Amino acid sequence: MNYTKINLTDSSRNSDPAHNDLIRYSYEDGMVIEKKYFDPPETEVQATESARRWRNNKLKYTDFIVPLTDYPNYQSWINYRQELRDWPSSVNFPNEKPVEP
């Protein structure tokens, strides 16, 4: 049975919906179904890679703090960066991310 698919959340993503987009399926016989699109669950490897990218971005984003010893809450940021570096070897990886100060 043929149908047309319209992304009600963002029509520019009709052919490539994002997680939680609302999709309307209109069938030739007049039946219309609307449902949310859900990305397939990540595999363990994908979750690990995603977590490492997130961590690397956080480290890069906070690199500027290291030489600024008078930065507000400096030691907390340095400790946070160490937690980020240690995180992949912890039992919480990749499920519980370190929390920014």
pLDDT of 42 over the 90 cut: no
What pLDDT score does 100 carry?
94
pLDDT of 1 over the 80 cut: no
Which residue range is the domain that position 18 belongs to?
A: 3-36
Which band of pLDDT confidence, cut at 50, 70 and 90, is reported for residue 11?
confident
Domain count, the chain: 2
What pLDDT score does 44 carry?
86
- Same domain? 12 vs 49: no
Which band of pLDDT confidence, cut at 50, 70 and 90, is reported for residue 20?
confident
**Nearest residue to 65 via CA among 74, 56, 57, 55:** 74
Query: What whole-number distance in Å separates Cα of residue 52 and Cα of residue 59?
Result: 10
48-83 per-position pLDDT tens digit: 999 999 999 999 999 999 999 999 999 999 999 999
The overall average pLDDT reported for the chain is 91
Q: Is residue 74 part of a domain?
A: yes
- Same domain? 60 vs 77: yes
Strand partners, 4: 26
- Same domain? 51 vs 82: yes
Which band of pLDDT confidence, cut at 50, 70 and 90, is reported for residue 19?
confident
- Exposure string of 64-95, with b = 16+ CB inside 10 Å and e = fewer, is ebeeeeeeeeeeebbebbebbeebeeeeebbe
